[in-house]
Structure 1
Amino acid sequence: MTLRIGNASGFYGDRFDAMREMLTGGGLDVLTGDYLAELTMLILGRDRLKDPAAGYARTFLRQLEECLGLAHERGVRIVANAGGLNPAGLAARVRELADRLGLPVRVAHVEGDDLTASHPGGLAAHAYLGGFGIAACLRAGADVVVTGRVTDASLVTGPAAAHFGWRPDDWDRLAGATVAGHLLECGAQVTGGNYAFFADHALDRLRHPGFPLAELHDDGSAVVTKHPGTGGVVDTGTVTAQLLYETGGARYAGPDVTTRLDTVRLRQDGPDRVRVDGVRGEAPPPTLKVGVNRLGGFRNEVTFVLTGLDIERKAELVRRQLDDTLRAARRAPAEVRWDLVRTDRPDADTEETASALLRLVVRDRDPEAVGRALSGAAVELALAGYPGFHVLAPPGKGAPYGVFEAAHVPQDSVTHTAVLHDGRRLTVPPAPRARALADVPAPDLPPPLPDGPVRRAPLGLVAGARSGDKGGSANVGVWARTDDAWRWLAHELTADRFRELIPEARTLPVTRHALPALRALNFVVEGILGEGVAAQHRFDPQAKALGEWLRARHLDIPEALL
């Protein structure tokens, strides 16, 4: 018996029409939507400050306005974490919508994740719950289940547990569903979006990738695919890329199960079909992760355009001028950061390509320190600075920024609650057993390639990569497409070589995890994102392109691979 679970959202702001596309494109049993991320929780927290009745993903309601009748007609259940900080409020709004549309839709929700009251100073603090609250709602007959902060994979493990009758200690089955959920959670990223080897495919095929679905089986295995006739591509490469996204070592911890990523087997099972099986699971850790978002202060920025000759000296002049003014201000910013980006080139035939960008970012807990002080100082240089002075945009008043940190609490300290469609409240117990998380022993690697001629070339000619953020850290998953390329990659791309290729990481802890079954390496770079995405610590604050930068770096690559 197969359970077909689709995805219609990978983030708050994803393709609005995806819900309709998934409901009309082919058969489904359950349609999920992932609307939450670390940054989203901060955004919703700020919404809730303005309106206590807010705090959920408004676009989800607008999508249901168009699609709830269609889902009801086709017998598709909807499970989404769009409840954000206010799942009860969203569930009430969905009921109102169903009544207005004249649809006999049963709506349930999951709560208990909100721990803000126990984290003083936090704007939003939420535990990552598992899938058994969702399962309880579905078993009781819910047609729509909305949640707050559950793990992304729980949107799949919950429906699978309800459908197949899995027990909380069915570790291997739950681990298989966790992998399927992780593959679906980012929507079109597994169907060809953001794919390192996109150039292997016709661009028309990638213009409008279809959203993914998984055909789950009772043993936890699955086939990842998409509706017939939709754009994009599903192959072992796109699946490997998403499997490595925002993960770490071989043990992938969750509230219901710890999934052994080193046991995952991928096999092409036909056009746009990848079979995922062999996944083993273990008891989860005794604690739940808690994402804590708080306001970190205020930031402001200005980007100076430096054109033509003497770029470095122009940058030094404006730095000295601004530093003097900011130091003399009544309230100098606590943090001042300058970055010179050499986008200029010699003898350029356009002014834009003759110009470099000098970016100044200031941060402080006092909005005055990053507001008038900076905007006044920058504008006053207009006729007193370097030749050709201008900026991309004048600095404004400054804006608040958030910071993210991860905490952990005992599983049994959180009251995970399923609120059924008829109003009954069921407490969902924690996992029946727990196992402390530990690294797996280093796996055996294949022998290195024999010596031979090499050529200086980009790493991306022989390896794919995908990167992302986890709080202040980033992960970069790198994989090879052939056995010989893996033999070279496994020995060449050490943690030290990674630091050499990514200078920002040279002083940071970098941990390498090898996953031979996937011909992959996963690097975790601690602290490269500062206090998280909302703090905008670096040019690419979520490390989305860090993997592509790595692929563009040059190494001595065996000619046999090229």
Structure 2
Amino acid sequence: MTGVPASTGAAGGEAPLRVANCSGFYGDRLSAAREMVEGGPIDVLTGDWLAELTMLILAGNRLKGRPGYARTFLTQMEQVLGTCLDRGIKIVSNAGGLDPAGCAQAVTELADRLGLSARVAHVTGDDLTGRDFGDMVNLDTGEKPPAPALTANAYLGGRPIAVALESGADVVVTGRVTDAALVTGPGMWRFGWRPGDYDALAGSVVAGHIIECGCQATGGNYAFFTEVPDLAHCGFPIAELYADGSSVITKHPGTGGQVSVGTVTAQLLYEIGSPRYLGPDVTARFDTIELAPAGDDRVRVSGVRGEAPPETLKVALNHLGGYRNTMTLVLTGLDIEAKARLAEEAVFTRVPRDSFDQVHVELTPLGAPRGPDAVALLRVTVMDADRRRAGRAFSSAVVETGLASYPGFYGLTPPGDASPYGVYWPTTVPAHAVQAEVWAGGEAIWRAPAGAPDAHGTASPGGEAAIGEPAGESGRPPASGAGTSAPREVPLGTIAGARSGDKGGNANLGVWVRTAAQYAWLEEFLTADRLQGLLPGTSALRVERHRLPNLLALNFVVHGLLGRGVAASPRLDAQAKALGEELRARAVPIPGELL
């Protein structure tokens, strides 16, 4: 492809493509687009508005007659569109959600209202709602698909974005594409990468993964947050992308936060599985990533190897699972566990436990386990296909126990009706069966199968391919010299960082350290079995461990922790965001020389 002049690579001395992120989720900082455009030179402004839960939220909006796209994107465009057009800054966004055509039309109307001339393109083909998924199975559970699905969207890659930019688009709006495609697509356009340029494509996927979650790459949600300056004014990240796929991660000068090997490592471990990171354009090998400091708030990312993408595309379905209701009671003082048992018995005497499809009871300590400072939350969640059964029939029964339950009884939730909840259902379809389309000026200007034309499917067709340690393996024999002095019982977080999050119904938990000696100990000590002992809530679940020695890191995938996805999970921490911090707080024996 042609476009702006191509660079020769990180060592070639030519200017890179500067891709700036201004959104990590639907609801992120509204001023970020303006900050990125006005804070310094950039070539592409992009942002991620979509998540598995977002698609369900947009489906609910659409059922209520509201737009099926992220409306905050238009607010940001009103602030920066004129400046971007003046400076030749391209805008690439997945804010189109379930209605990329409607979002593109809204951007066009906004430009007209502002007296601007903007060429707006949009990408479709990801929406598979109504498609027969009868022969597909759930990637996590093996279940047959539900019917009907509220949403069904395939994850497209960067090629349609590159085509749209090649056509002269100033703004490109997509529906469901991979998060990294928002960087890979502009890279294809700028550098002319072809489908077989696996290493360059893989490098761009890694750069896209690093900046996709906004401030999480610049010190946000960072385990060692006390080391991060001015986090309250954290700047958003920029990827300086080169022709060979290498990049430098940075941020605008004068903004808060920090770009370091640590902050970049933390984001690389976020919401991944195996070191083979599958995508529609390429399979990126996360076990080949090399990170190095490149100046103040600058980290070079290089060495990434790529392989052929799979012959399938991941598809995310959402369907209505039923109705749910949660009541939360506060327990204080003495005998917390006994009070919880009494409260539970009192409730289910009035509404039998077995009258609901599902019941989830969670006791969460908030203070000391005993004594005058002991406080805990008792959350009782019921789920049922019958809205009336899960509604006030349940919540009123909880309130009715108020004068016949434990001492100090009070609740945090008033009696209320049940609300519908959605179930996330991941599967795959053959890539050639999905037609990606690019539209501009009301016409389809490009149409092609969504998969890379020369993909050979060397990676597994569903989820992320296994590499290295098989699921359930406890670890290899102890590394020699991994701790020789007397150990001290201290929190694991004394030397280890962690970041966790949701992967559908699963959770991922990445753990990293800062020196080779610490990693030798961590690799020997923190087996899958040991993790389950430190986190009792995972003990009955399947846990996979993956080694990433190049990042001094381990990544764990906890299968089934979040049940049937974020929207259906009754856990207080429904997205497993705090799982890593829970692990870091556990006291473990660490050799003295590593401290």
TM value normalised by structure 2? 0.90
1:117 aligns with 2:116: no
**2:286 maps to which residue?**
261
**1:341 maps to which residue?**
364
Which of these residues, 63, 86, 111, is aligned with residue 49 of structure 1? 63
What is the CA deviation profile of residues 147-169 of structure 1, one whole-angstrom value per residue up to 9, with x for unaligned ones? 00000000000001001111111
**2:568 maps to which residue?**
535
**1:37 maps to which residue?**
51
* 2: CA distance, partners of 1:448 / 1:395: 59
Which of these residues, 1, 14, 18, is aligned with residue 32 of structure 2? 18
Letter in 1 for 2:49: Y
**1:433 maps to which residue?**
455
* 2: CA distance, partners of 1:536 / 1:395: 20
Residues 242 and 421 (structure 1), Cα distance of their counterparts in 2 relative to 1, 3 Å cut: farther
Which of these residues, 335, 338, 342, is aligned with residue 310 of structure 1? 335
SS in 1 for 2:262: helix
**1:375 maps to which residue?**
395
SS in 2 for 1:531: coil
**1:409 maps to which residue?**
429
SS in 1 for 2:187: helix
Q: Which runs of 5+ in 2 are unaligned?
A: 1-6, 8-15, 134-146, 460-464, 470-474
What is the CA deviation profile of residues 226-256 of structure 1, one whole-angstrom value per residue up to 9, with x for unaligned ones? 0111111001000001011111112100000
Residue correspondence of structure 1 range 277-292 to structure 2 within 5 A: 277-292=302-317
* 2: CA distance, partners of 1:494 / 1:77: 46
What is the CA deviation profile of residues 99-156 of structure 1, one whole-angstrom value per residue up to 9, with x for unaligned ones? 1111110000000000111153111110000000000000000000000000000000
**1:508 maps to which residue?**
541
* 2: CA distance, partners of 1:296 / 1:266: 43
In the TM superposition, residue 422 of structure 1 has moved relative to its aligned partner by 6.1
Letter in 2 for 1:103: L
* 2: CA distance, partners of 1:470 / 1:236: 24
Q: Contact between 1:153 and 1:182, CA under 8 Å: does it hold in 2? A: yes
Q: Contact between 1:132 and 1:428, CA under 8 Å: does it hold in 2? A: no
Residues 418 and 519 (structure 1), Cα distance of their counterparts in 2 relative to 1, 3 Å cut: same
In the TM superposition, residue 383 of structure 1 has moved relative to its aligned partner by 2.3
What is the CA deviation profile of residues 395-437 of structure 1, one whole-angstrom value per residue up to 9, with x for unaligned ones? 3101111111210000000011111346233113321222242
Residue correspondence of structure 1 range 183-194 to structure 2 within 5 A: 183-194=210-221
SS in 2 for 1:116: coil
Letter in 1 for 2:297: D
1:246 aligns with 2:271: yes
Letter in 2 for 1:362: V
1:223 aligns with 2:226: no
Which of these residues, 374, 379, 383, is aligned with residue 363 of structure 1? 383
Q: Contact between 1:152 and 1:182, CA under 8 Å: does it hold in 2? A: yes
What is the CA deviation profile of residues 302-349 of structure 1, one whole-angstrom value per residue up to 9, with x for unaligned ones? 112223333333222222221111129xx932222222223354443x
Which of these residues, 181, 186, 197, is aligned with residue 208 of structure 2? 181
**2:113 maps to which residue?**
100
**2:493 maps to which residue?**
460
SS in 2 for 1:133: helix
**1:399 maps to which residue?**
419
Q: More displaced, 141-150 or 459-468? A: 459-468
1:76 aligns with 2:89: yes
* 2: CA distance, partners of 1:461 / 1:308: 31
SS in 2 for 1:247: coil
In the TM superposition, residue 278 of structure 1 has moved relative to its aligned partner by 0.6
* 1: CA distance, partners of 2:45 / 2:568: 33
In the TM superposition, residue 262 of structure 1 has moved relative to its aligned partner by 0.8
Q: Contact between 2:219 and 2:258, CA under 8 Å: does it hold in 1? A: yes
SS in 2 for 1:117: coil
Which of these residues, 473, 494, 510, is aligned with residue 477 of structure 1? 510
1:235 aligns with 2:260: yes
* 1: CA distance, partners of 2:231 / 2:375: 33
In the TM superposition, residue 355 of structure 1 has moved relative to its aligned partner by 3.4
* 2: CA distance, partners of 1:499 / 1:239: 27
What is the CA deviation profile of residues 42-88 of structure 1, one whole-angstrom value per residue up to 9, with x for unaligned ones? 0001111122x621000001111121112112211100000000001
Name the Cα RMSD after superposition: 1.7
**1:130 maps to which residue?**
157
Which of these residues, 155, 172, 193, is aligned with residue 166 of structure 1? 193
Q: Contact between 1:300 and 1:395, CA under 8 Å: does it hold in 2? A: no
Letter in 2 for 1:87: P
* 2: CA distance, partners of 1:441 / 1:318: 47
Letter in 2 for 1:41: M
In the TM superposition, residue 450 of structure 1 has moved relative to its aligned partner by 4.6
TM value normalised by structure 1? 0.95
Letter in 1 for 2:262: G
Q: More displaced, 424-433 or 60-69? A: 424-433
Higher helix share: 1
What is the CA deviation profile of residues 497-528 of structure 1, one whole-angstrom value per residue up to 9, with x for unaligned ones? 11111111111111111011111111111001
1:212 aligns with 2:237: yes
* 1: CA distance, partners of 2:423 / 2:108: 34
What is the CA deviation profile of residues 475-516 of structure 1, one whole-angstrom value per residue up to 9, with x for unaligned ones? 111111011111111111111111111111111111111011
Residues 358 and 440 (structure 1), Cα distance of their counterparts in 2 relative to 1, 3 Å cut: closer
Q: More displaced, 372-381 or 338-347? A: 338-347
SS in 2 for 1:424: strand
* 2: CA distance, partners of 1:245 / 1:220: 21
1:549 aligns with 2:582: yes
SS in 1 for 2:122: strand
Which of these residues, 226, 230, 248, is aligned with residue 199 of structure 1? 226
Identical-pair percentage: 57
Letter in 2 for 1:26: G
Letter in 1 for 2:256: G
